[in-house]
Amino acid sequence: MTREEIIKHVNSVLAEEFETENSNFDPNAKVYDTLNLDSLSLVDLVAVIQSEYGIKIPTEDLRKIQTFNDLYDYIEQHQKK
């Protein structure tokens, strides 16, 4: 997938899962604030990424993902070729 495809797909999946609008996903916005994540919904986010992309996000990597750009970068770097 290209980066543009990743962004479009991630935004679509997250908008549906977390019942928010795609327009809320500014690349520099904080993922946790935009999606109003608590510890349980954070598990949902990880499960969605794993299900959609086959990517497991270890806890230490999850701490590094702050913005949507970070999330897109992570998926782009770890997606199965």
Q: What sign has the CA pseudo-torsion 6, 11, 61, 80?
A: negative
Neighbour-count burial for 8-31, b at 16+ CB within 10 Å, e otherwise: eebbeebbebbeeeeeebeeeeeb
pLDDT of 80 above 80:
no
pLDDT digit string, tens, across residues 62-74:
999 999 999 999 9
Measured CA distances, 39 to 32, 35, 36, 43 (Å): 10, 12, 10, 7
Q: What sign has the CA pseudo-torsion 63, 69, 72, 73?
A: negative
pLDDT of 1 above 90:
no
